[in-house]
């Protein structure tokens, strides 16, 4: 239902005349705005998601006994596909015209692995041709190299098959999200940002072009520490 629809109902049912702009103003005064809904998996468990926000207890559960909470850095990890069947997003264009953007029908793609530390803005990325346990092991090793001496990374991630506990390292420990709860992983907002700003409305000749574009987008992002902090920070995952 749009503002035009609401204005029509107001006129028909209450004999009140409003322009669409007037409807927006009226709704704004009572705290209502026109926003896009977020999708939610039908199997998502709201109670489990709420419980996960009692975050420090979950961290203690997975943390090696000799590690103090004060020595822990929280990271969030995820993967996203980048390829020839990419995203189409909004663009600036002349009023009254709707631009056309080519959407490829080929299937060549690569996968961008990313991990982000909200407290520092640091990030670790890899572009690989596949997702599996070996690829995840490589990413964990790169994360480990970025953990400062004397610190321990707790890396929050979803329950994908290749996210297996035996990939934990001496200074990196996995923490799994509840099932079907991608909204608890701020990496999703990073992917949205990258695709909106660098990787949408694109055509790629092949795999090498996809990798090049992914690397350029990543390298632009990773130096923007404040931006990464802003996108990934959440009030509920403070551990000390």
Q: In CATH, what number is assigned to the domain containing residue 184?
A: 3.30.420.10
| Whether 144 and 78 share a structural domain | yes
| Whether 31 and 60 share a structural domain | no
| Whether 15 and 52 share a structural domain | no
| Whether 182 and 202 share a structural domain | yes
Average pLDDT, the chain: 90
| Whether 6 and 118 share a structural domain | no
Q: How many domains does the chain have?
A: 2
185: which residues sit within 8 A by CB, 6+ positions away?
76, 78, 156, 157, 158, 177
Q: 106-135: b or e for each residue (b if 16 or more CB lie within 10 Å)?
A: eebbbbbbbbbbbeebbbbbbbbeebeeeb
| Whether 162 and 232 share a structural domain | yes
104-154 pLDDT, tens digit each: 566 788 999 999 999 999 999 999 999 999 999 999 999 999 999 999 999
Whether the predicted pLDDT of 35 surpasses 80? no
**Rounded Cα distance, 230 and 62, in Å:** 26
CB 77 within 8 A of CB 157: yes
40 part of a folded domain: no
| Whether 101 and 53 share a structural domain | yes
Q: Which domain holds residue 206?
A: 46-237
Q: For residues 54, 44, 187 and 162, what is the CA-based torsion angle, rounded to 10 degrees?
A: 100
| Whether 11 and 93 share a structural domain | no
176: which residues sit within 8 A by CB, 6+ positions away?
156, 157, 158, 159, 163
Q: How many CA atoms lie within 13 A of 240 on its CB side?
A: 10
165-210 pLDDT, tens digit each: 899 999 999 999 999 999 999 999 999 999 888 887 677 789 999 9
pLDDT bucket at 42, cuts 50 / 70 / 90: confident
pLDDT bucket at 91, cuts 50 / 70 / 90: low
| Whether 101 and 163 share a structural domain | yes
41 part of a folded domain: no
Whether the predicted pLDDT of 46 surpasses 60? yes
Longest dimension (CA), the chain: 71
| Whether 140 and 194 share a structural domain | yes
**Rounded Cα distance, 153 and 64, in Å:** 11
**Rounded Cα distance, 47 and 38, in Å:** 18
Beta carbons within 10 angstroms of residue 18's beta carbon: 19
């Amino acid at each position: 239902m749009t503002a035009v629809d609401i204005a029509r109902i107001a006129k028909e049912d209450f004999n009140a005349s409003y322009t669409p702009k007037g409807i927006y103003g009226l709704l704004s005064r009572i705290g209502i705005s026109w926003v896009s809904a977020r999708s939610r998996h039908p199997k998502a468990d709201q109670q489990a998601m709420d419980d996960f926000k009692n975050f420090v207890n979950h961290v203690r559960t997975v943390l090696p006994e000799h590690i103090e909470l004060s020595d822990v850095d929280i990271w969030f990890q995820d993967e996203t596909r980048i390829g020839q069947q990419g995203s189409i997003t909004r663009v600036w264009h002349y009023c009254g015209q709707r631009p056309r953007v080519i959407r490829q029908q080929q299937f060549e793609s690569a996968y961008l692995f990313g991990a982000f530390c909200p407290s520092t803005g640091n990030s670790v990325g890899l572009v690989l041709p596949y997702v599996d346990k070996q690829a995840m092991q490589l990413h964990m090793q790169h994360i480990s190299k970025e953990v400062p001496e004397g610190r321990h990374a707790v890396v929050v991630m979803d329950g994908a098959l290749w996210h297996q506990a035996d990939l934990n390292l001496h200074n990196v420990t996995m923490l799994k999200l509840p099932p079907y709860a991608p909204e608890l992983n701020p990496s999703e907002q990073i992917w949205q940002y990258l695709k909106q700003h660098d990787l949408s409305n694109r055509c790629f000749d092949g795999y090498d072009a996809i990798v090049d574009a992914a690397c350029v987008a990543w390298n632009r992002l990773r130096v923007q520490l404040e931006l990464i902090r802003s996108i990934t920070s959440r009030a509920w995952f403070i551990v000390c």
